[in-house]
Amino acid sequence: MKIFLDSAELEHIERAKEYGILDGVTTNPSLIKKAVLKQQEQGQAVDMKDYLRRVLQAAGEAPVSLEVIGTNRNEMEKEGMFLYAQFNPIAENVFVKIPINPVLEPDAESHYEGVETIKALADRGIPVNCTLIFTPEQALLAAKAGAAMVSPFAGRLDDYLREENGLAFDKKDYFPSYGLEKNGEPLEDKGLVSGIDLVGQCVDILGRFGFACEVLAASIRNPRQVREAALVGAHIATLPFDVISELLIHPKTMEGMQGFTRDIVPEYAQLFRTS
């Protein structure tokens, strides 16, 4: 499974690249806002074109998803073409992120504008990461329209299941892939019992019909979700920097290191001094 960094912060991207663990980067308007605020707090004004140029160069050959902000086909298609024309030449690594359905209110005339935009961009050879996927059916339609990646939002589906059922939780709380029960009844949304269940069903369906579309497990909040995303066959998981760091930590690893360090005899240590 490829590991993407879910962050627009230059420092995170540079560090992940340096550690040799960066397969790609995902951004969204909220992550861009966080990065901009951080720069401003440090007294630095942000020139967005220049900032994104540095992000793309820092990622190198790793793909970077940049999201449109429009809420209809015309806007999104124009913005997608702009993002690709403006930024892809820098490092040849831009994916354009398009929401599966950009409407803000339920009574919108059409719910197809995301799908139409994916097709229009894919026909021009622009790679699309289709975002805000909450059902395998949305993933199927995105893949059919030509998306190169689909992003099921695992953590936010878990949030939804808990919110709808009045359960208190913190953002990073583990939600088991096999689901939770309330009053003896399983929590579910349209037959999905967890965010990881959503990821797994997307993988199964797209794989079964041979779509050339990768499933990117998004909205991942803790290490166990990373493991579970891998176990259900996600091609990619995109992780906040702190979750990547948490993957490395175990008290027994630390305890083992303390023991090994205590046990170093001078004869063995000498070996390294002369090397």
Q: Which residues are catalytic?
A: 97
Distance from C-alpha of 8 to C-alpha of 67, rounded to nearest angstrom: 11
Of 80-88, 147-155, 160-168, 241-249, which part binds ligand E4P (CB under 6 A)? 147-155
Closer by beta carbon to ligand E4P, 201 or else 222: 222
Contacts of 258 (CB under 8 A, 6+ apart): none
Closest contact distance (angstroms) between CB of 141 and ligand E4P is 18
Assess 28 for contact with ligand E4P (CB under 6 A): yes
Assess 238 for contact with ligand E4P (CB under 6 A): yes
Assess 102 for contact with ligand E4P (CB under 6 A): no
Query: Which residues in the 214-233 window bind ligand E4P by CB under 6 A?
Result: 218-219
Distance from C-alpha of 76 to C-alpha of 162, rounded to nearest angstrom: 32
Closer by beta carbon to ligand E4P, 34 or else 267: 34
Closer by beta carbon to ligand E4P, 24 or else 146: 24
Contacts of 225 (CB under 8 A, 6+ apart): 154, 155, 174, 175, 177, 195, 196, 217, 237
Structure tokens at 17: 């690249």
Identify the CA nearest to 151 among candidates 16, 27, 30: 27
Of 51-59, 153-161, 196-204, 251-259, which part binds ligand E4P (CB under 6 A)? 153-161
**CA-derived radius of gyration, the chain:** 21
Identify the CA nearest to 100 among candidates 62, 63, 144: 144
Across 100-242, the runs of DSSP E, i.e. the strands, are 128-133, 149-152, 181-182, 185-186, 214-217, 236-239
CB 153 within 8 A of CB 132: yes
For 198-221, the DSSP string reads HHHHHHHHHHHTT-S-EEEEBS--
Count, residues near ligand E4P per rule CB under 6 A: 11
* Choice from 1, 3, 5, 6 touching ligand E4P (CB under 6 A): 6
Closer by beta carbon to ligand E4P, 63 or else 155: 155
Identify the CA nearest to 221 among candidates 167, 169, 148: 169
Assess 88 for contact with ligand E4P (CB under 6 A): no
Distance from C-alpha of 179 to C-alpha of 106, rounded to nearest angstrom: 28
Closest contact distance (angstroms) between CB of 109 and ligand E4P is 26
What is the pattern of x (binds ligand E4P, CB under 6 A) and - over residues 175-194? --------------------
Assess 134 for contact with ligand E4P (CB under 6 A): no
Closest contact distance (angstroms) between CB of 128 and ligand E4P is 13
Of 32-40, 140-148, 152-160, 204-212, which part binds ligand E4P (CB under 6 A)? 152-160
CB 83 within 8 A of CB 96: yes
* Choice from 12, 73, 119, 156 touching ligand E4P (CB under 6 A): 156
Positions touching ligand E4P (CB under 6 A) are 6, 26, 28, 131, 151, 153, 155-156, 218-219, 238
